[in-house]
Chains A and B, each alone.
Chain A
């Protein structure tokens, strides 16, 4: 009797946990974070078959002339869900796709978004070159990490409109204008941001991380400089590349800035002291308050070390 009850509970728990697991993976949700601005929140996780590369935040902006899509997800499979999510909100045409930088979790769904109508692909002036250099390596590792079925058909068309560092490109969406800005080397050497002027919403790509530890793949010094400028943008909220769908601006910048500054100061100290590159990662304790710290923190220390050696 008791045994039977237990088994029933176990079955029920299994059913619930399956339902929960299904709920986490299956529906591809979007939320409206400001009038006409919708965000899909990627998992704060590393690439894995169960997330299909859906680990970055994606956004779209609805204007009377059409829809501007910002980033495309890490695989064609995510790209298809992303297009369907746009279609679930509006039947205005998808006209523009902005790729905020070269990283695979943001770009490999691009072919799908373009196939859905995006004629204008906006990317940083260095994006094509960066992707030419890194694309084959990225594609091989994504296929391995996500599985060939999920990754099949993932493509990244070249930008049709490029934005140079310091350049501002205004796009007229009809009832609203967005300003796309190119940045010097920071998180990567291909960073763009999108500012929706009507709502004061900054779509920051990976220049802003929340929750997930920032990854330095461009220049630590450059990123710190860019943050100073970024903080002055006239926005009241930000959609970060990773973390929550939306956060207050510029307060959302504080944690990232603190991490990058601490990293800079600690690594500079070790370089000055003559502590070797091999010893450096263990000498700088992992920061608290971030997720996915290992091994990205150690990698950041290594990258920062090689960069800051030139400064001493």
Chain B
């Protein structure tokens, strides 16, 4: 092995040396210095890349999965009904969870760790996040959290909004088209979804909230799309 091969090996595989490269390193002062520099570099590189993992990630993954079996049973029932009455429905069987359940699952799971800030989120930051998905939000009020998330594998904006009546979760989903408004009660929550732009918007409030309609109206007025 020569010096060029030694250096190529280091740059290809970090500072892991086999017998041959180790022998060269021990016999060549220049490559020994190179190896020491490279070791320092690799140590820094390892630290730079190994960003800390959020607390509770493992638990949240298992929690998310715990929603899956119930969905499968529901899909099974739906598919059976459709197969009997219409003769189609295989797509429902294999398809994802209903959008309302997906929103609720995401809202509940996200509530457990994201929480809301003590202060309203700066509007410039909110705009940066919503604009990224082609949405503009004006006069929505006291937004405590806004971030990107995935619903049914598509990008969405997830927001927490405080009102005098209570807090609600809002999803802006540019890539989840909906034909008509849907309002469902799911596990103690009211999930309202309606078409907006080329996609849809979802609002999740506690069941029985008499302010859901006024909230929906406010959201309809507040959100515009540029796509």
Same complex origin of A and B? no
Chain B residues close to A by CB (< 8 Å):
none
Chain A residues close to B by CB (< 8 Å):
none
